[in-house]
Structure 1
Amino acid sequence: MGEIKSCPTCGQLFNYNGIREVCANCAAEEEKKYEEVYRFLRRRENRAATVERIVEATGCTEELLYGWVRRGRLQTALFPNLGYPCDNCGHLTTTGKLCDNCTNKLQRDLNQFEASKEFRESIEKNERGTYLSEKRTR
């Protein structure tokens, strides 16, 4: 069963069913914009258009474009200059939430953290030491 939400675009109340984030009227408008953008991009001379160029030519918002790319409606294999902002730095990416640079930096930081953790544990182990008492018989 759905819940009543306010449309983030127009403010109208609608029955949210977990599929669309906007009311039916705004969804229809978004679909019209999508068709316009897709027709624009299908022309050979526009396939390598940047996000800024698409916004300028069609009047679509960047947020809508980013959402379509994120959901896979506009595929970056067909339109190479499309993407959506990295959640960390804002550079365009085509997969996941982070761009390649931020992913690599995060991986390096994690590796460094793990190495320093292992080093601290080995130092603590050596400081505790193991003292054996031997019984010497002569």
Structure 2
Amino acid sequence: MAELRDCPTCGGFFNYTGVREVCVQCAQKEEKKYEEVYRFLRRRENRAATVERIVEVTGVTESLLHNWVRKGRLQPALFPNLGYPCDQCGSLTTSGKLCETCATALQSDLKAFEAAQEFRDAISESDAKAYYTNPNK
């Protein structure tokens, strides 16, 4: 069932059905911008264009360009300088929510945490087997 929402681009109302985040008019404008960006990138000399260069030439917003890459409409395999910001550090990545550096750091932190947890479990297990004597008796 559709719900009534405000379009984040123009502020108008539209029925949100889960397909688009913007109203029909803004979706059509975005599609025209996408076609312009895609035509620009299809030219051999522009395939290695950076995000900043694409924004400068086509006038599309950086966030819209990032959304197209995130959704898979623009493939980083075909256009190597495209990507979207890492959720943690902001550097460009082409897959997932984290860049390779942040993902590696997170994995090493998790391994360190698991090792510390195993150590704590081993100590608490050995304390349970210990016998205590009262030296005052």
What TM-score, normalized to structure 1? Answer: 0.92
Structure 1 distance, partners of 2:65, 2:125, is 55
Q: CA deviation at 1:130?
A: 4.8
What residue is the counterpart of 1:44 in the other structure? 44
What secondary structure sits across from 2:114 in the alignment? helix
Structure 1 distance, partners of 2:53, 2:130, is 69
Q: CA deviation at 1:129?
A: 1.9
What residue is the counterpart of 2:102 in the other structure? 102
Q: Which has the larger radius of gyration?
A: 1
Q: CA deviation at 1:125?
A: 1.5
Percent pairwise identity: 69
How does 1:1-138 map onto structure 2 within 5 Å?
1-131=1-131
Structure 1 distance, partners of 2:17, 2:38, is 27
Q: CA deviation at 1:124?
A: 1.5
Structure 1 distance, partners of 2:123, 2:21, is 54
What secondary structure sits across from 1:21 in the alignment? coil
Q: CA deviation at 1:128?
A: 2.4
> Which structure 2 residue ranges, 5 or more long, are not aligned?
132-137
Structure 2 distance, partners of 1:12, 1:128, is 66
What residue is the counterpart of 2:134 in the other structure? none
Q: CA RMSD in A?
A: 0.9
Q: Deviations over 1:15-69 (max 9, x none)?
A: 1110000001100100010000000000000000000000001000001100000
Report the AA paired with residue 89 of structure 2: C
What TM-score, normalized to structure 2? Answer: 0.93
Equivalent pairs counted in the alignment come to 131
Moved over 3 A (4+): none
Q: CA deviation at 1:127?
A: 2.1
Structure 2 distance, partners of 1:125, 1:75, is 52
Structure 1 distance, partners of 2:118, 2:91, is 34
Structure 1 distance, partners of 2:125, 2:24, is 64
